[in-house]
Structure 1
Amino acid sequence: MRADAEVPADFRPRRLAALRDAIGRADLDGLLVTALPNIRYLTGFSGSSALLFVTARECVLFTDFRYETQVGDEVGGAATVRIEPTSLWTGLWPAIVGMAGVERIGFESAHLMHRDFARLLEQGSRWQWRPAIELVETLRAVKDPGEVAAIERAVQMAQTALEHTLKELVPGLTETAVAGRLERHLRETGSEAFPFPSIVASGPRSALPHARAADRLLAKGDLVLLDFGAVADGYCSDITRTVVLGSASAEQREVYDIVLEANIRASGAVRAGMLGMAADAVARDYIAACGYGEAFGHSLGHGIGLEVHESPRLARTVDAPLATGMVVTIEPGIYRPDWGGVRIEDDVLITDAGARVLTGFPRQLLEIA
C-alpha cells in the first residue's frame, strides 16, 4: 500500500502546519529533520535515505537516485523533492541559502550523528544551529484515526500469527525454531517487517525480560514467553503472551494471575490527563502488594506507532500527562531468576471515553497440550 494512503489524504498539510507552529514557538526559522520515522510522518516517504528541511513557507525533501520513482509516488506535492547525485548534504546548503529570513535553524539533537553535526558547524557555519527536542515526536504521540486503523491491522496480524504458532508448540523445539515459525506466520499474515527481533524465552530463561531466542529446547512444564509484533503500513503492534507447555503448576498459576490482574487494572485505568507515573503505579502497586514488587523491574509501557518505542512513556519517573489518541502498551511482568517469568502485554488506545484495548487475544493462562 502506498504510504500516502496510510491516513486521510489531508494528513500531511495538517501535520506540517502543526510542526510549523511548534517551530515558531521554539523561536526557530526552520527545522532540519533527519530521523526517518519523522520524515515519513510528515511527508509519507518511507525510503532509507532522506533529509527534510521545513520553514514557515518551504518543505524540501532530499533523497538519492534509488528513490526517484518511489519518492514521487509517496510524497506527491507534500514537499519539494530534490534528487541528489552524490550527498544529500551537498544539496542542503544552497537550498537554505535561497530561503529568505532563515537564520536560526533547529536540528534533531536526539538523532543527528556527530559526523553530521560537524557538517553543521563547518559547511553550515553561516547559520545559527540550535538543538530541537522532540518537536515532531510530540506530534506523533497522538494518533489520528488512520494511524489507529493501521495499528489495529498490525495487532490483528500479530494475533493471527500467534494463534498459528501456538498450535505448533511442542517439547523439543528450540526457542529459535519457535521464533522462526512465529516470524514466518507474521509474514504470511501480511506483516511488512518485524518491529524488533521476536522474543521467545522458555523455562528459567523467561525470567529475562528481553531475552534473545536461543537454542534451549522447550520442555514440558515450561513457561514460554513470546513478545513480538507486526507492521502494517509502517505502523507497529507489540504483544506479549506467556503460556505453559503442558499443565501449569500452582506456583506458575499464582504468579500468572497476579500479572493478569495488574494488566487488567492498568489497561482499564489509563485515561487522558493521567500522568505516566500514575499509570505505572496502578500495576506496580498491585504487584508490590502481592509481594513481588522487586520482581517487576521495567516500566509499565510505552507508545507505539511508526516506531515500536515512542512517546509517551508509562514509568515511575514520568510526570507528563497522557492524551486522547495515544496508543500505549500495558505490559506488567514478574521475573524470578532461575525460575521463570510472566509478562502479559496489550496495546491500548486512549479515547475520550477511557481506554480501549486493541488486543483481542485471550489473556487467561493457556496450557498448551
Structure 2
Amino acid sequence: MTRIERLQRKLPSLYLDAFLVTDSKNIEYLTGFSLMQGDGILLISNHQAIVITDARYQLALAEYESKSVVGLITADYYGTLNELCQKMQIQVLGFEKSVSYQIYDLLDEIMVADLVPFANVIEKLRSVKDSAEIAKLKHAADLLSAGYQYVLKMIQPGMTERRVAAALDYWMKEHGATAASFPSIVASGPNAAKPHATVSARKIHSGDIVILDFGYYVDGYTADMTRTFAVGSIDPELRDVYQIVNNARQQVINHAHSGVRGDRLDRYGRSIIDEAGYGDEFNHGMGHGIGLAVHELPASYGPAAHGLKLEANQVITVEPGIYIPQLGGVRIEDDIVITHGEPQLLTKAPTELVVVGK
C-alpha cells in the first residue's frame, strides 16, 4: 500500500471527502515530489492525488514519474483548489492545522467546501519508518560519525568555534550531505554549559570541554548526533559528569522498545543523573523523533510524556546532558530505531571520552 493510499483509507473515519496538504515535508513524504515550502499544495481525495504548483516546477513535474499523482500548473493555487473541489463535489475538506493564519483566512474566504482542521495526521504516518527510510537514516548517521572523526583530527587549540563549524559544514557537504538540518553547535569551555549554544568567535583553549551537536540531510533524511570531547586535560568534575551522562544514555537505550511509555523511558536515564546530584543541571527532554525533519513525531519525551507510547520502527534520539554554569557541560546523543526487542543503534561513533591536543 502506498503512503497516499494509507491516507486515503483514513478519510472516511475522519468524515472527510478530501485532505489538503500544505506542509512541504508532508507533500514530499506522500508523493516523493520536492517543493520549497509555500511553492505548492497537494489535494488528496478518495481516488485522486493532485499536486498544484506553478510554472517554476513545470520541468520537474514533466520528469516526475507517478501513476497515482497528477500535477497541475497554475499561478493561483487556492483558486484552482476551490475550482477542483467544486468539480469533484468535495463538500468537507480537511486541512493541516499548521497553516499560517494568512492561508487559513484565504481558504475561509474563497472555499465553498466546509473546512475542518487536523493536527499531525500525516506526521503520525511519518513517525513509523519503512526499511528504505531507515536505510537513509543509517546513511546519514554514518556520515555524521565520519564527520565527528574528522573534527577530532583537525581541531586544535586556538581555533574558534565558528571555524570548526565552518570546516565541518564544508566536509559534510563534500562527502554527500545536502544541507544542515539545524545550525551546528560547537560549544567550548563555559559555552558548553548552554544546551543550545550558538557558534561564537570564542577560541578553543587547552583544558576546554567541547560539545559538538550537528545534523545533516542525506538523501532527504537527517540524523542528529552529539558528542562531547576534551581538548587537553579537563576539570576532574567534568570527567565524572561525562561518565554519568554516558551511563544515563546507555540505560535509556537498554530499555528502549516498542510499547514503553515516554516518561518511563526518560526515567531510566534521568534517575541516574538525579541520584548523582545533578538533576537540576539536566534541563531538557531525553530525546525526540527524527526523519524528514530533525524534530518530528514521536514528540520530545521527558518526565511529562505520559501519553507517548513508542512503536516499532520509530526513530528517536537519546540525548541526556548535564550543564554546570561557568564550568562547562556534557551531552551525548545517539539515534536509535525502536523494535520489539533490542533497539538498532544508528550512530556508531564511539561514546567514550576522547581527549585531543594532548
Give the TM-score of the pair, scaled to structure 2: 0.96
1:191 to 167, 170, 177: 177
Give the alignment of 1:202-221 within 5 angstroms. Answer: 202-221=188-207
Aligned residue pairs, count: 353
The structural deviation recorded for 1:91 is 1.6
2:81 to 86, 92, 110: 92
In the alignment, structure 1 residue 16 sits paired with structure 2 residue 31: no
1:132 corresponds in structure 2 to: 118
The structural deviation recorded for 1:73 is 3.1
The structural deviation recorded for 1:326 is 0.4
1:65 corresponds in structure 2 to: 55
Give the alignment of 1:44-193 within 5 angstroms. Answer: 44-48=32-36, 49-74=39-64, 76-84=66-74, 86-100=75-89, 102-109=90-97, 111-124=98-111, 126-193=112-179
Q: Find the aligned partners of 1:192 and 1:354 in 2 and give their Cα distance.
A: 31
The structural deviation recorded for 1:150 is 0.4
1:323 to 307, 311, 330: 311
1:334 to 305, 322, 336: 322
2:260 corresponds in structure 1 to: 274
Amino acid at match of 2:19: L
Q: Find the aligned partners of 2:177 and 2:257 in 1 and give their Cα distance.
A: 29
Contact 1:194 1:229 in 2 (8 A): yes
The structural deviation recorded for 1:71 is 2.8
Q: Find the aligned partners of 2:238 and 2:289 in 1 and give their Cα distance.
A: 29
Amino acid at match of 1:165: V
Amino acid at match of 2:149: E
Contact 1:334 1:343 in 2 (8 A): yes
Deviations 1:131-178 (A, max 9, x none): 111110000000000000000110111111111121111111110001
Q: Find the aligned partners of 2:235 and 2:227 in 1 and give their Cα distance.
A: 17
Contact 2:85 2:91 in 1 (8 A): no
Contact 2:192 2:209 in 1 (8 A): yes
Gaps of 5+ in 1: 1-12
The structural deviation recorded for 1:77 is 2.5
Q: Find the aligned partners of 1:218 and 1:194 in 2 and give their Cα distance.
A: 23
Gaps of 5+ in 2: none
Amino acid at match of 1:317: A
The structural deviation recorded for 1:74 is 3.9
Q: Find the aligned partners of 2:283 and 2:64 in 1 and give their Cα distance.
A: 42
Contact 1:62 1:83 in 2 (8 A): yes
Contact 1:272 1:354 in 2 (8 A): no
Pairwise CA RMSD of aligned residues? 1.2
Q: Find the aligned partners of 1:196 and 1:78 in 2 and give their Cα distance.
A: 33
Amino acid at match of 1:70: A
Q: Find the aligned partners of 2:102 and 2:217 in 1 and give their Cα distance.
A: 31
Contact 1:22 1:135 in 2 (8 A): no
In the alignment, structure 1 residue 351 sits paired with structure 2 residue 352: no
Deviations 1:322-367 (A, max 9, x none): 0000010000000111111100000001123221111110000000
The structural deviation recorded for 1:75 is 5.1
Q: Find the aligned partners of 1:243 and 1:355 in 2 and give their Cα distance.
A: 25
Q: Find the aligned partners of 2:13 and 2:325 in 1 and give their Cα distance.
A: 49
Q: Find the aligned partners of 1:192 and 1:279 in 2 and give their Cα distance.
A: 33
1:285 corresponds in structure 2 to: 271
In the alignment, structure 1 residue 237 sits paired with structure 2 residue 198: no
Contact 1:45 1:75 in 2 (8 A): no
The structural deviation recorded for 1:76 is 2.3
Deviations 1:225-257 (A, max 9, x none): 010012111100000001010123321110000
Amino acid at match of 2:42: L
Amino acid at match of 2:193: A
Give the alignment of 1:244-323 within 5 angstroms. Answer: 244-313=230-299, 314-318=301-305, 319-323=307-311
2:14 corresponds in structure 1 to: 26
1:39 to 7, 22, 27: 27
Contact 1:203 1:222 in 2 (8 A): yes
Find the residue that maps to 2:25 and give its secondary structure. helix
The structural deviation recorded for 1:23 is 2.2
Compared with structure 1, are the counterparts of its residues 75 and 42 closer, same or farther at alpha carbon in structure 2 (3 Å cutoff)? farther
Q: Find the aligned partners of 2:62 and 2:269 in 1 and give their Cα distance.
A: 47
Contact 2:273 2:279 in 1 (8 A): yes
The structural deviation recorded for 1:72 is 3.7
